[in-house]
Amino acid sequence: MRLTVTLAVGALLLVGCGGGEAAPVSSSPSPSPSSASPSASPSPLPTPSSDGIPAGASPFSGLPGGEGKPVLAIKIDNTRPAQPHAGLRAADLVYVTEVEWDLTRFIAIFNSQIPDVIGPVRSARISDMDILVPFGKVAFSNSGAQSKLLPVIAAANLYDVSAEKAYEAFTNDPGRPSPVDHMADPRVLLAAAPDAELARDIGFVFSQDPPAGGTPVSTVTATWPSSEVSFTWDEAEGNFIVGLNGEESRSTEGGPQRAATVVLQSVEQSDSGYGDRYGGVTPFIQTVGKGAAIVLRDGRMWSVTWERPTLEDGTKFLLPDGTQMPFAIGQEWVVFLDKTMKPKVT
């Protein structure tokens, strides 16, 4: 689903950022809250291998320290005023999702490292629950949600540690403008969900060495009328520098966000039946099924297919010979792109 109106990047920052108090834009039935049903039994964590995967690694990044630790998923803003991001560099996995007015937001997954503060935290969307089903009953935090979505979140197989449920974890940063001033203490969030599920397999495989083939790549950019995410190969550091909304990303820790592996996943999007108070439509992102994707790692690009047979299944990314595409060890980024979109590759 694509909106036909063309808008400059950032032109609707104030309009598109007000999702927490938004009202539905249609009376059509919303997608069923798939995550309301319990998910499948956890799969084992990755084991040591000749590819250099450490024992007890996070199944989301291959980084050490994830075994036996709970999982926190948290919504984070992606607009220019949201930068510098706090704590995002510690995430194992970052999903990029489209919201109203061709803006985008992140779902950041924390497991192997827990930073002191994360933010700016923003509101939930309907597709978040489907994306998170394979993780099990983990802690899910956001700054709120429109009233129509609250029962869906309550029914989901998640621990709701939003600002409305775990308000003691949230503070407003006086140095940031509203609504991108909401910051959260992740340790307090996890303490509010003491039974949150531990890290489990979601379908990724890892290797220090890339597969054969691949096409050399410098920069890959995904552009919406009001948002942009780019990934530029940094040979010296051996990873991709993340660009956000036309400029190099910034972090409170210093330096840009960086990605070891990037997936640009082509998906079907449609009107979810939700939207903001100004008439913006929330896309529903169909993450179950199969389709095309490109994977970036080690300065190269591979064309792959993705498959997720059921909501409870993780997503696998397959090379043309049917074997799984191994990810590089480090922070992973998965960008959901409507199937009509084509990223720019240089």
pLDDT tens for 231-244 read 999 999 999 999 99
pLDDT tens for 191-224 read 999 999 999 999 999 999 999 999 999 999 999 9
Res 27: pLDDT: 31
Res 34: pLDDT: 42
Res 55: pLDDT: 78
> Is the pLDDT reported for residue 4 higher than 50?
no
Res 52: pLDDT: 57
What pLDDT band is residue 54 in, cutting at 50, 70 and 90?
confident
Average pLDDT over residues 44-49: 39
Average pLDDT over residues 281-295: 98
> Is the pLDDT reported for residue 14 higher than 90?
no
Query: How far, in Å, CA of 53 to CA of 62, rounded?
Result: 6
Res 116: pLDDT: 98
> Is the pLDDT reported for residue 5 higher than 50?
no
| Proportion of the chain above pLDDT 70, given as a percent | 85
Q: Higher model confidence: residue 136 or residue 47?
A: 136
pLDDT tens for 171-184 read 999 999 999 999 99
Average pLDDT over residues 301-327: 98
List, in order, residues 6 or more apart from 289 with CB less than 8 Å away. Answer: 268, 307, 308
What pLDDT band is residue 51 in, cutting at 50, 70 and 90?
low
> Is the pLDDT reported for residue 252 higher than 50?
yes
Average pLDDT, the chain: 88
> Is the pLDDT reported for residue 49 higher than 90?
no
- In the chain, how many H helices and how many E strands? 4, 20
> Interior CA angle at 117 toward 114 and 120, to 5°?
120
38: burial class by Cβ within 10 Å (0-12, 13-18, 19+)?
A: exposed
Res 18: pLDDT: 42
Query: How far, in Å, CA of 179 to CA of 87, rounded?
Result: 18
Domains, the chain, in order of start with CATH, read 45-345 (3.50.90.10)
Residue closest to 91 by CA, chosen among 115, 69, 70, 59: 115
Average pLDDT over residues 84-111: 98
H or E segment and range at residue 229: strand 227-234
Q: Higher model confidence: residue 43 or residue 70?
A: 70
